[in-house]
Amino acid sequence: SQTIHQWPATLVQPVGSPLSLECTVEGTSNPNLYWYRQAAGRGLQLLFYSVGIGQISSEVPQNLSASRPQDRQFILSSKKLLLSDSGFYLCAWSPFNAYGYTFGSGTRLTVV
Amino acid sequence: SQELEQSPQSLIVQEGKNLTINCTSSKTLYGLYWYKQKYGEGLIFLMMLQKGGEEKSHEKITAKLDEKKQQSSLHITASQPSHAGIYLCGADGGYNNNDMRFGAGTRLTVKP
């Protein structure tokens, strides 16, 4: 069966520090991968999605970047965190040729 | 992009009462998903609707997609405190559109 792992669950980082959130999927190949952020009043906001290794589509220009170094690994990064980067980040995957999304358990990031 | 409007934004009901949450799209929905989220946790998949007029039920929760595939409703019968949380509708952009959009969510509180 397929599983998705996201870590860490919680993170407190100072302003200006770097960020790296990791998401991995098991039990499937060539998944579509997504990073979402939960913004107050806007529900979930799509940040990045990837349909393959090295392929990243950005939805919102901001202080964050994403990378997909391996087929089932998706990383969300920042070189210098801002206070406004605080929030709840969710990773998700979907099959490349079918419907259906599965979400990770999320990371609560607090920038102080 | 597919914009989704959810209503109401928040809902407080007495235990045992029925309730309905609505999700309206500006475009035809290829896939409509309902999720539940407890604060700070990942999303729990409830149901997915694809066909116009489709209706699915799970325990005391029923979701419907209208014939025009632009509106969905989530109905909870005889609500319980365990139903409390945030309900999110998500819309698939279509088979070749690799992302999903979400409504802002409905916060449900069930008073015992």
User: How is A45-97 classified by DSSP, letter by letter?
Assistant: EEEEEEEETTEEEESS-SS-EEEEEETTEEEEEESS--GGG-EEEEEEEE-TT
Residues in chain A whose beta carbon is closer than 8 A to a beta carbon of chain B? 6, 32, 34, 36, 41-46, 49, 51, 57, 59, 88, 90, 92, 94, 99-106, 108
How far apart CA B4 and CA A61 sit, in angstroms, is: 21
Considering only CB atoms, which chain B residues are within 8 Å of A56?
none
Closest CB to B31: pick one of A45, A49, A99.
Answer: A99
A65-70's contacts with Cβ under 8 Å and 24+ in sequence apart are A66/A35, A68/A33
For A100, the closest chain B residue by CA position comes to B48
Does domain B4-98 bear CATH number 3.30.1240.10?
Answer: no
Answer with the residue of higher pLDDT: A102 or B109.
B109
Q: Say how many domains are in chain A.
A: 1
Residue A78 confidence class, pLDDT cut points 50, 70, 90: very high
Considering only CB atoms, which chain B residues are within 8 Å of A100?
48
How far apart CA A90 and CA A107 sit, in angstroms, is: 7
Residue percentage of chain A with pLDDT more than 90? 55
Residue B44 confidence class, pLDDT cut points 50, 70, 90: confident
Domain residues of chain B, as ranges? 4-98
Task: Give the domain range for residue A13.
Answer: 3-111
- Over residues B29-52, mean pLDDT: 82
In this predicted structure, what is the pLDDT of residue A41?
A: 54
